[in-house]
Amino acid sequence: MEYLAIGLLVGYILFIHLQMHKKDRLIEAMVDKLSKIEKDWDTDQILSLLEKHRVQYNVTPAIRNRLFDEPVQKFLFSNENNSKIFIHYTKDELTAKKINREGFRFIETFEKTAEQVFSDSVDLNYKHNIRKYYGKYIVVICIANEIYNHFFEELKLLNKQNTQPEHVLSGIPSFINDNNEEVFTISNQFIKGFINYETGAIVPNPEFSPSYKYFISKEQFN
């Protein structure tokens, strides 16, 4: 067993050495190529060159992040002055499209699956780095302050300490799923759309209306 452990350790060291050698070759090639690049090359041309060399030297690709591109930031925060903004990450584009159409379902606690964000690059970057592994599609949930605060005060008056405004923002009662968990739905009127943070693609929801008002039945407050 001792010889086996030593053999595995030596093999691992050789593997690490090989990977470092590949990266050294990549860096040398990049320096040589970039020193010859004309000054008028744009970002896409440089990224294309980097991708060619990544494939040639079998280096794991770095994930692009377009979250801080100006169009994406405008889409995310254009309602910030009068609304609360939340984001939810998903791996599947079909799921993101379904949320656009049908609303956002969550189990018991909204904060477990969605994060409130602000137009602050440090705060957004921190929250993004925590949640980005859940998927490259970011669903944007936007609720007008007047709507959110109205339901907050209503629940406070009813002494519903364990109920949040998000629990009643669907217009329909919650239901119990197959795992005996209570499922709530936020109306698709509060879904602004979704973003692919790797490509910067934006898919807005045509039914988005952050100040959407509807009748809430008494049962939803019980």
Please, what is the Cα angle at 155 between 149 and 161, to 5 degrees? 115
pLDDT over threshold 70, residue 219: no
* Cβ(151)–Cβ(158) below 8 Å: no
Q: For 47-62, what is the mean pLDDT? A: 55
Q: For 173-191, what is the mean pLDDT? A: 91
- 120 or 32, greater pLDDT: 120
pTM for the complete prediction? 0.68
Range picked from 7-16, 26-35, 62-71, 129-138 for highest mean pLDDT: 129-138
Which one-letter amino acid corresponds to residue 16? I
Tell me which of 62-66, 109-113, 138-142, 211-215 is least confident. Answer: 211-215
Cα 204 to its chain centre, rounded Å, is: 15
Residue 214 has what pLDDT? 55
pLDDT over threshold 80, residue 198: yes
pLDDT over threshold 50, residue 33: yes
Q: For 189-213, what is the mean pLDDT? A: 93
Provide the mean pLDDT of the chain: 79
